[in-house]
Chains A and B, each alone.
Chain A
Amino acid sequence: MTEINLDTSSVRSLNVKLQGAASGDNFNVSNTGGKHAVSVGLTTAINVGINGHVGYYCAGMNQQANITIKGNAGPGLAENMMSGKVHVTGNASQYAGATAHGGLLVIEGDASSRCGISMKGVSIVIGGNIGHMSAFMAQSGCLVVCGNAGDALGDSIYEARLYVRGKVASLGTDCIEKEMRAEHKEQLEELLKQSGMSHNVDEFRRYGSARKLYNFDIDQVDAY
């Protein structure tokens, strides 16, 4: 286990160390103090424990690494993550998991607005609530919300699957409730298990694309 204290070490030297680490290495980061861009651009299967709250863009572009944040994360958590796992024990601010292609993002608390915006294959599991405009233009992947979702969930969504246990304040354009079939329950069960959350999958509803925005509607031609 390598200890890195951000009171005495810069964020840049931390990231250089993490980016150069060999698969299987373990790191523990302390005194984060809300600093930006902590543990970004990792490409190997290392384990990083972050003790404390982090600012903007933590765990961005993550590949393969397993990153655990004991605290809250600021805006842009795990943005464009490709693979691996990012786990936050507290809350995350705006646009967590934006544009992420793969991997698993777990937020035990609440996520703010625009969670999973333009997600492209990532699995996101939120223990609490999410804010407005989440999964906007979501293209692929899964968003699981164990609490409630804010306004305009899944606006202009493509093919991502959204599972919400609580209330949805409102659905965005072209986002509709869909049937929860056996394959969906199985997928949800597996995601909850991987995230360390225990809820009955029958309490969730599934939302997805009505696919009405896929093609230009000739009746709308007058609008242009």
Chain B
Amino acid sequence: MCGIVGLFIKNPALESQLGALVAPMLAEMTERGPDSAGIAIYRDPHESGCKISVLAQNSSFDWNALEVAIKEFFSLKKIVVVHNQAVLFVDSEINKVQDWLYNNYSELSVISAGTSIEIFKGKGNPLDFIEKFDIKGMSGTHALGHTRMATESAITTEHSHPFSTGQDLCLVHNGSLSNHNRLRETLRRRGVHFKTDNDTEVAAGYLSWRLSEGDDLDQALNHAIDDLDGFYTFAIGTKDGFAVMRDPIGCKPAIMAETDDWAAMASEYRAIATLPGAENARIWEPEPTQIYSWKRS
């Protein structure tokens, strides 16, 4: 099953409440995905360098030692540790920092990279995740969330959504892909790294590869319609907003809503019903293969 939510704030006065607004949406999707949850939140742009979200496989990971080590090579502005995850604010080139982490800290996974994006995810009940990571206290411009009911690969934090698809980009998915094993091998030969056997990670890797080949997001998604076989409602977070696309069969649900204050998407209306003014929002169901996107102008 799985549940997806997305919220884009149009009225800047509400940015301080982004987490407080998106947490009940995510909580409402618990029944659709009780195995794990995750969120991508766009906030505090670090334009002088980059922000990198990392996940430690072991909860006893020594973040202080990482801080000391990283400072020997890079200009680390700040490190924010939340449980077994951290967001690094570094005034250095993004690829260099990522490569250094990859080569020196095999026990860490980079789960997002960019200037605004932060990703948090965790195995277990979404309601616990919301409390543990204090999602309600987060401010920002837009967020995507996911609750997972695993159907095709293991339940671990690394298998949880959102998946990074490039700088300030991420993907959440409701559905399942049937050609992900072969596509993963094809993409590996083209230099895309994968950490799990999860189907959505392949879709994320596919979009990263198309974008690195020069596609814009709309072109990459249109190519995905041809190359991905399976069921999907995708929500893709970008630096300035997010996009939504359903597969040609349109099996997996999605609903969208918009008011003067916000634009939202969710697997079901009941997640949107938690937002202020939802009852008078413009509401519609996205058409299969059409790309719907919001972004800051």
Q: Do A and B come from one complex?
A: yes
Residues of A bordering B, CB below 8 Å: 33-35, 52-53, 55-56, 72, 74-75, 90-91, 93-94, 110, 112-113, 131-132
CA A112 to CA B269, docked complex, whole Å: 15
Tell yes or no: B284 within 8 A of A by CB.
yes
Contact present for A75 and B269 (CB under 8 Å): no
Q: B253 and A93: CB pair below 8 A?
A: yes
A132 contacts which of B250, B253, B270 (Cβ < 8 Å)?
B250
On whether the beta carbons of B270 and A33 are closer than 8 Å, the reply is yes
Q: Check A53 against B269 for contact (C-beta < 8 Å).
A: yes
Bound state CA distance, A8 and B207, in angstroms?
45
B residues near A (Cβ < 8 Å) are: 250-251, 253, 255, 268-273, 279, 283-285, 287-288
Min distance, Cβ B257 to any Cβ of chain A, angstroms:
10
Select which of B251, B269, B279, B288 is within 8 A of A74 by beta carbon.
Answer: B269
A75-B253 in contact given A33-B270, A34-B272 (Cβ < 8 Å): yes
Give the chain B neighbours of A93 by CB distance below 8 A: 253, 255, 285
Q: Which of B271, B279, B285 contacts A112 (CB 8 A)?
A: B285
A-side contacts of B269, CB under 8 Å:
34, 53, 55, 72, 74
Task: Determine the chain A residues whose CB is within 8 A of the CB of B250 once the complex forms.
Answer: 94, 112-113, 131-132
Closest B residue by C-beta to A32: B273
Give Cα A72 to B272, complex, Å.
Answer: 13
C-alpha spacing A110/B283, complex, angstroms:
12
Known: A74-B268, A91-B284, A93-B285. A53 touches B273 (CB 8 A): yes
The interface residues of chain A, by DSSP majority, are classed as loop
Distance in angstroms between the alpha carbons of A110 and B268 in the assembled complex: 17
- CA of A72 to CA of B283, assembled, Å: 8
**Top-4 shortest CB links A-B:** A34-B270, A34-B269, A33-B273, A34-B273
The CA of A91 and the CA of B285, in the complex, are separated in Å by 9
**Contact present for A52 and B283 (CB under 8 Å):** no
Q: Are B253 and A35 in contact (CB under 8 A)?
A: no
A55 CA / B279 CA spacing, docked (Å): 14
**Quick check: A74 and B273 within 8 Å, CB to CB?**
no
Decide: A34 and B268 in contact? CB cutoff 8 A. yes
Contact B270 A55 (CB under 8 A): yes
List, in ascending order, chain A residues with CB within 8 A of B272's CB.
34
Partner of B288, one of A34, A35, A110, A132: A132
Q: How far is the CA of A39 from the CA of B250 in the complex (A)?
A: 26
What B residues does A74 contact at CB under 8 A? 253, 255, 268-269
A91 and B286 CA atoms in complex are apart in Å by 12
- Per the bound structure, the CA–CA distance linking A35 and B28 in Å amounts to 10
A residues in contact with B288, CB < 8 Å:
113, 131-132
Evaluate whether A52 and B279 lie within 8 angstroms (CB atoms) in the complex, with A93-B285, A132-B288 already known.
yes
Q: Note all chain B residues with C-beta closer than 8 A to A33.
A: 270, 273
Closest to A33 in B: B273
Q: 18 A-B contacts, Cβ less than 8 Å apart?
A: A33-B273, A34-B268, A34-B270, A34-B272, A52-B279, A53-B269, A53-B279, A55-B269, A55-B270, A72-B283, A74-B253, A74-B268, A74-B269, A75-B253, A91-B283, A93-B255, A94-B250, A132-B288
B283: chain A residues within 8 A (beta carbon): 53, 72, 90-91
What residue in chain B is nearest A92 (Cβ atoms)?
B285
Chain A residue nearest to B272 in the complex (CB): A34
Report A101 CB to chain B, min CB distance, Å.
Answer: 25
Bound-state Cα–Cα, A53 to B280, Å: 11
In the complex, chain B residues whose CB is within 8 Å of the CB of A113: 250, 288
The smallest beta-carbon distance between B71 and chain A, in angstroms, is 49
